[in-house]
Amino acid sequence: MSARLILVTLAVAIYASAVDGSPTSSSSEETMEVIESLERQCLQRTGSSETFEKLVAGFTFAPMCFAGHLDLDGLISGFDELDDSNRVQYFDTYCPQLNQSLQCVNPLFDLLRKCWDGEELAIWDIMFNMVPEALNLICKDHGEIFFRLDRPEYSMCVTRFEDYAVECAGKISNSTETMHLSKLNEEQCYELREFRSCVAQKLDICKASGIIELADVFYKPLMKASSCAKYIDLEPNNPVDTNEIN
């Protein structure tokens, strides 16, 4: 069972119970099955129900924690009106709030990690590390990524991204595609690095380096959660910009 599914399902279940205190649809049965599965897994891994009980309590109080750190209404309404005239003020206001709000979920991440091992734990680590990576990119240069992606040269690259990815996928062998993250060897890790480098070079020809930064939100946590952290540089340098369109 994926960490994402458990997170979403547990959150929905807690919200639903807070609203009316009882199941109201057939999806409630599926929700309870997921929660019960998580409870069993936590019990098996930790030897007691304490971790699961803390997890449920944490989800219950998380909305109040977020409300204390993040002006969500202002964040959303301000984003709809975002332009060059107000972007500095907007990101200077809300990026610190977003980073502070991470303290509301970090304890939940720590508790959930106690209930997994092996490949599921690796997936959880990827999700955990994607959050700060995404925030760093969003807040970098006062949201430059949002404005950059609206430029014509980026639209051109986006239409070619799938072709680039297919072409670069030839650098990944079948054994690497099917191997568990925790068991990737040095050669397989180099293949993943070369795939990323290949895509970055293709995108950079289009003057669209920001797109690879979006991919890195997943790539870097993936490498950190796998055995590849022992073999490769997790802060890859992008190729030098050129004016050529390929």
What would the two tokens of residue 224 be? 């950190």
**Contact in structure between 168 and 195 (CB atoms under 8 Å):** yes
Q: What are phi and psi of 176, to 5 degrees?
A: -70, -40
Average pLDDT, the chain: 77
Rounded Cα distance between 171 and 39, Å, is 41
| pLDDT value for 14 | 39
**Contact in structure between 172 and 191 (CB atoms under 8 Å):** yes
- In the chain, the amino acid numbered 83 is D
In the chain, which stretches have pLDDT less than 70? Answer: 1-28, 30-31, 118-120, 175-179, 206-210, 234-246
Rounded Cα distance between 19 and 40, Å, is 26
Rounded Cα distance between 72 and 10, Å, is 22
**Contact in structure between 102 and 197 (CB atoms under 8 Å):** no
| pLDDT value for 241 | 37
**Contact in structure between 223 and 234 (CB atoms under 8 Å):** yes
157 sits in the region (left: phi over 0; alpha: psi -120 to 50; else beta) called alpha
| pLDDT value for 246 | 35
**Contact in structure between 27 and 41 (CB atoms under 8 Å):** no
Q: What share of the chain is helix, strand, coil (3-state, %, to 5)?
A: 75, 0, 25
pTM over the 0.75 mark: no
| pLDDT value for 25 | 54
Q: Per this entry, what is the length of the chain?
A: 246
Rounded Cα distance between 209 and 141, Å, is 14
- In the chain, the amino acid numbered 241 is D
Tell me the HSE value of 70 on the side-chain side, using a 13 A CA sphere: 20
User: Distance between terminal CA atoms of the chain?
Assistant: 42
